[in-house]
Amino acid sequence: MKRFINSRHNIVTEALDGFLLSSPNAGLARLDGYPHTKVIVRTDWDKSRVALISGGGSGHEPAHAGFVGEGMLTAAVCGEIFASPGVDAILAAILAVTGEAGALLIVKNYTGDRLNFGLAAERAKALGCKVELVIVADDIAIPGAVQPRGVAGTLFVHKIAGYMAARGMSLKQVSRQARATAASCLSIGLSLDTCTVPGNIRQDYLGSDEAELGLGIHGEPGVSKVAVASANKLMMLACKKLAKATGASRSSYAMIVNNLGAVPPLEMAILVNSFAKTRLAEKVDIIIGPAHLMTSLNMNGFSLSLMPLTRQRKQALLFDVAANSWPGLRVRGKTTIIKLPEVNTERKYKASTDKNTQAIIRAVCRVLLEAENDLNELDTHTGDGDTGTTFANAARCVKKQLKFLPSADGAELTTALSDVLARNMGGSSGVLMAILLAATGEAYRHKADWPLAFRKGVEQVMQYGGARPGDRTMLDALLPGLETLMRGKSIIEAATAARKGARATAKMNKARAGRSSYVHADSLKGITDPGAEAIARIFETIADRSSPNS
């Protein structure tokens, strides 16, 4: 199993150091005493409030260090991966942050954590500290479990107690609310794969068509295997369990959507959408996440946690915190859908007639249709042999649309042609031609000078398409032709320049843009670029029409 670790023996201390180096909340520190004592504490803490201390085995990041900060925890005591911290480390954390107001320990329901936090609490009491302890046992996976596990519902306890403590309530009040919160939380997990402890061999006890429902956060097998199914179906299975656990309660709930480690953000968002379709969603008025809150190393799964809302709890959830990893929340509301801007429907042009312009366009279309096979043949050497067909398709569409186009208005006509090509030509060349014509039309609108307007259009093609002269593209014919016109020369001379430019592409053995750039130089030798050839033929067609003999 490939992992980003160094030695398995200092995973947790290295991760905590990395955490402190990058923590946006700069008011954090660690207690001295590595490797045994791994405690993250607030430095902006004045002991006048009830201290909140949580922790447990590591491997659940960002829990718990990511929740240390004003409005949530005062300290997090971190054990090794999936192993409770020792009594001395917990006691050190208590003594470091507990003042007159006392401390509340928030402990997930695992024997090791209960005992070690419990003994540390007793020792701290013997040293004169006021200490209370709340055990979170929110997992509902095992029906009738005497000791349900503590999982992501713990975050609710952190948040509610954090608010009470920040508001200056007494240890007795904070503890009472924390216990009530813990008693009311319900959580269930579902995963497509188990997690792997760094250094261990990957345990793939699930088949490729199996998922697990009702799992813990330490890689222990889930209560049941379920068939892999759609996100909607899997979410429904998890929600049914929760709905059953809520029973006939008519409460409204807050829900945590927790990423158990390795689910991509895209899929977590799909799961939220699936959740919204369940019946349980009707009872959920606040969503927290999706986010990494209480992970299980690299587990490819999620968990849901519910807490019944009261006015006070809602207020507590909304309270802003300085902890890095509290993701904020969303109060249920309708998604706003904004009407599309009008113009997105087919653009309307006022058809007009200009015999000469229409004749030129028809001639250009004819030559492109005739060139289809030649251009395709050239393209087989450098691309997938469809340049001719792409241009021919464009020509067919333009011919068909011609009578609906504003032929008598140069700027409007060019813009309209851009639209026709964008919709019908296809491929990158379709978009490039559309950009050329759109930008040309826009330029002509400001100044009625065709060569200049086309030159502006070509500039946009270069910007968006990324090609430069000499890159073996249609630009190598287009630019010489246009520049000849801009120097006041005739269209016949321009056509000669475009043809010369097209011919030169046969000697360019390094394509730097477009499809030819992926082709080996030898394959390009002696082959004219099909786009440049098309442009040369267009110039020649227009030149023919304007020559005295035409």
Please report how close the Cβ of residue 228 comes to a second copy at its closest, in angstroms.
Answer: 5
Closest among 397, 394, 390, 388 to 370, alpha carbons compared: 388
Q: CA angle 268-272-273, nearest 5°?
A: 115
Q: Report d(CA 42, CA 166) in Å as an integer.
A: 13
Helix (H) or strand (E) holding 392: helix 387-401
Q: Report d(CA 501, CA 169) in Å as an integer.
A: 82
Q: Report d(CA 468, CA 485) in Å as an integer.
A: 20
Q: Report d(CA 304, CA 485) in Å as an integer.
A: 69
Q: Report d(CA 63, CA 81) in Å as an integer.
A: 12
Please report how close the Cβ of residue 253 comes to a second copy at its closest, in angstroms.
Answer: 15
Q: Cβ closer to a second copy: 356 or 459?
A: 459
- 442-to-413, 418, 423 alpha-carbon distances in Å: 11, 11, 19
Q: Cβ closer to a second copy: 296 or 528?
A: 296
Q: Cβ closer to a second copy: 306 or 542?
A: 306
Residue 9: cis peptide before it, omega within 30 degrees of 0: no
Please report how close the Cβ of residue 12 comes to a second copy at its closest, in angstroms.
Answer: 8
Q: Cβ closer to a second copy: 18 or 168?
A: 18
Structure letter (DSSP) for residue 520: -
Q: For the beta carbon of residue 311, count every other beta carbon within 10 angstroms.
A: 7
Q: Report d(CA 335, CA 467) in Å as an integer.
A: 42
Phi, psi values for residue 418, rounded to 5°? -60, -45
Q: For the beta carbon of residue 182, count every other beta carbon within 10 angstroms.
A: 25
Q: CA angle 306-312-315, nearest 5°?
A: 85
Q: Cβ closer to a second copy: 324 or 496?
A: 324
Residue 106 contacts residue 56 (beta carbons within 8 Å): no
Q: Cβ closer to a second copy: 108 or 537?
A: 108
Is 9 labeled as catalytic in the residue annotation? no
Residue 310: what residue type? T
Indicate the Cα dihedral angle 268, 272, 278, 283, nearest 10°: 130
Please report how close the Cβ of residue 388 comes to a second copy at its closest, in angstroms.
Answer: 21
Indicate the Cα dihedral angle 407, 408, 411, 413, nearest 10°: -10
Q: Which of 60, 158, 218, 292 is catalytic?
A: 218
Q: Cβ closer to a second copy: 179 or 241?
A: 179
Residue 75 contacts residue 42 (beta carbons within 8 Å): yes
Query: CA-based diameter of the chain, in Å?
Result: 113
Closest among 12, 15, 150 to 89, alpha carbons compared: 12
Please report how close the Cβ of residue 381 comes to a second copy at its closest, in angstroms.
Answer: 21
Closest among 77, 169, 163, 168 to 124, alpha carbons compared: 77
Please report how close the Cβ of residue 122 comes to a second copy at its closest, in angstroms.
Answer: 4
Please report how close the Cβ of residue 454 comes to a second copy at its closest, in angstroms.
Answer: 14
Q: Cβ closer to a second copy: 336 or 549?
A: 336
Lookup: tokens for 378? 């050239």
- Environment class of residue 350 by beta-carbon count within 10 Å: exposed (0-12), middle (13-18) or buried (19+)? exposed
Q: Cβ closer to a second copy: 21 or 248?
A: 21
Secondary structure (3-state) at 406: strand
Q: Cβ closer to a second copy: 95 or 486?
A: 95
Q: Which residues are catalytic?
A: 218
